[in-house]
Amino acid sequence: MYSYFNNSYKTVLVVQCAFTGFYSSIAGAIYYPVLSVIEDEFNITEQQVNITVVVYFLFQGIAPSIMGGLADSFGRRPIVLSSIMLYMIACVSLACSNSYGEILGLRCLQAAGIAPVIAINSGIMGDITTKAERGGYVGYVSGFQVMGTAFGAIIGSMLANRWGWRSIFWFLVIGSGICLLCSLVILTETKRTIVGNGSVAPRSMFNYAPVLRLKAVHKMLHLGNPELESLEPPVKFNLFAPLEILRNARINLLLYIAGLQFATYTTHQTALSTVLSSKYNLKVLEVGLCYLPTGLCTMATVVISGRYLNWFYSRESKRHEVWLENQVMQITAERGITENEAKEITENDPKYTFNLIEARLKAGFLTLVVSSLGFIAYGWCIQMKAPLPAVLVCSGIASLFSNCILTFSTTTMVDLFPSKGSTATGCLNLYRCLISAIFISCLSRMVKAIDYGGVFTLMGAINIFSSVALLYLVKTGKQIVFDRRMEDKASAEAAKKELVAQKSAEEDKNEEGCDVNIRVSVHDEATDPGKTV
C-alpha cells in the first residue's frame, strides 16, 4: 500500500495546504494596489517602492531552497508551523511600521517566513499520492496557491479603500493565525522517512498532530499495525542539496522556462497597478477590481490543468505498458532468452523508459506560445491606452495559459525527485522568484527606454523562444528520466551500505562492551568470591 491516506483525508490536506499556500502568494499581490499609496505616504520614488516588491521576491526565492531541505530531513509539519509563526510576526510588525526602511526589512522577513510553505506543500502531495493521481492533487494545490496572486489585488484594494493600507497586513495576521491553528490540529506528518505510508506514528512531538488521536484517523492510517518496511531511508540535511539538483543542465532549462513565464505574469501584474492609476486615473478600489479577469482565468486554470495532467498521464502510461510488453516479447523471441532477462534489458536501456517528461510537459509548448502572445498584446494595449476592456481581456487570456506551466513543471519536479519533493520545488521557486525580481527591479527603466509595448514584446519573444527549448526537453525526456532513476538507485544502494556499516559498528561496539563486562565480573569474583554477580 503506497499510502493509507484515503481520498477524504487527502482532500483535507489539499484544502489545508492550499489555504496556507494562499497566504504565501497573496502577500505579494495584496500589496500591488497600495504601491502608489505607500509611495505618497513615505515620500519615496516609484523605483524605491518597487524595491519593496523586488526584495519580497528575492527572499521568496531563497528561503524555500534552505527550508525545503529541512522539511525533507526533519519532516513537513514542524517547518510549516514555524514558517507560519514567523510570517505572522512579520505581518504584525508591518502593520505597525512607520518608515520605508522598516517596510523594506520586514518584507524580507515576511517572505522568508511563508515562502517555504509553497515548496513543502508539493512535498506533502508527493508523499501521499502516486504518479497517476499526482497531477490532479498538485494542480489543485499549486493552482489555489496562485489564487492568492490572482485575487490578492482585489482584496487589498477593498481593504485599503475602507480602512487604509495598514489593514492589508492585519488581514494577513488574522488569516495566518487561522492557518496556524488549523495546521496545528489537522496537519499530519507525511514525510515517508518518518511515517512511511502513514501507518507509522511519528516519534517526535513536533511531528505528531492531535488529529491522530481520533479513532477514525487512527483506524484509517492503520497506526495499530504499522508497516515499518514502508519507511524510506532517512534524508540527511544538506545545505547544498539544491545545488545537487541544479547540477543537471536540462533540469535548469526546465526551471528557467517555468521561472521566466511566472516572471512575465508577475511583471504584468505589477505594471497593471501603476498603469491603471497613472494612465486610466482609477481609484484604489477600481484598480483592485480590474484584477478580477486574471483571478477568474487562474481559477479556470486550476481545474483544467490538473485534470488534464491526470488524464494525459494515464493515457500515455497505458500506451507505454502495451508497447513495452510487445518489446519484451520481441526481445525474447529474437535473442532466445527468458522473459525476466528481456525485462532486465529494458530496465537498463533508456530507450525503453517511460517518457514522463512528455506526459507532463507536452502541452506546455502551446500554452507558452498563447500566453506570450497575450502578454505582447497586453503591453501594446496599455501603451496605446486602448479601451480598458481590451486591456483586461488580454490580461485574462495571458493569465489563463500562463499558469498552466507552473502546474506542469511543479508536478514534473516532484515526479523526478520524489524523496526531495520540497527541495526540488524550492529550486523551481528560486528560479521563478529571482527572475521575477530581476524584471520588476528593471521595469521602470525599461518602460522609460522602450515603453510597455517594447517591454512585453521583449518578454513575450523570450518566452516563445524558450518554448522551443521545451520541445527539446520532451524529445530527450526518456534519457532524463532514466538518468534520474539510476541516480536514485545508486543513492539507495549507498544508503543501504552505510546503514549496514553502522549496524556492524554498533554490533562490534556491543561485543566489546560484553567482553569488558565479562572481565569486570571475573575480576570481581577473584577479589570478592562471596559477591553475587
Nearest one of 145, 108, 152 to 124, comparing CA atoms? 145
Distance CA 91, CA 183 (A): 18
Distance CA 202, CA 200 (A): 6
Crossing angle, helix 167-186 and helix 7-29, to 10 degrees? 160
Confidence band for 531, pLDDT divided at 50, 70 and 90: very low
CB-CB contact of 67 with 120 (8 Å): yes
Nearest one of 299, 231, 259 to 436, comparing CA atoms? 259
> 386 to each of 133, 219, 377, 380, 381, how far by Cα in Å?
44, 61, 11, 8, 5
Distance CA 445, CA 492 (A): 50
Give the contacts of 446 (CB within 8 A, at least 6 positions apart): 454, 455, 458
Residue 360 grid coordinates: 507532463
Q: For the segment 394-432, what is each residue's pLDDT rounded down to a tens digit?
A: 999 998 888 888 888 888 888 888 777 777 888 888 888
Instruction: Name the burial class of residue 140, with classes exposed (0-12), middle (13-18) and buried (19+) by CB atoms within 10 angstroms of its CB.
Output: buried
Q: Is the dihedral of CA 27, 32, 34, 40 positive or negative?
A: positive
* Long-range residue pairs from 194-197, CB within 8 A, at least 24 positions apart, any chain: 194/75, 194/231, 195/231, 196/226, 196/227, 196/228, 196/229, 196/230, 196/231, 196/232, 197/1, 197/2, 197/3, 197/4, 197/227, 197/230
DSSP per-residue letters across 399-423: HHHHTHHHHHHHHHHHHH-GGGHHH
What pLDDT score does 392 carry? 92
Alpha helices in 96-130 (DSSP H): 100-114, 116-128
Average pLDDT score over residue span 320-330: 90
User: Does the structure show a pLDDT above 80 at 59?
Assistant: yes
Average pLDDT score over residue span 241-265: 87
Domains of the chain: 7-228+241-490 (1.20.1250.20)
Confidence band for 488, pLDDT divided at 50, 70 and 90: confident
What pLDDT score does 518 carry? 47
Which residue carries 497613472 as its cell? 278
CB-CB contact of 250 with 476 (8 Å): yes
Q: For the segment 288-322, what is each residue's pLDDT rounded down to a tens digit?
A: 788 888 878 877 887 788 788 888 888 998 999 99
Q: For the segment 116-166, what is each residue's pLDDT rounded down to a tens digit?
A: 888 888 888 888 888 777 767 777 787 677 777 777 878 888 898 889 889
Instruction: Please state, as a whole number, how many other Cβ atoms lie within 10 Å of the Cβ of residue 237.
Output: 13
How is residue 32 annotated by DSSP?
G
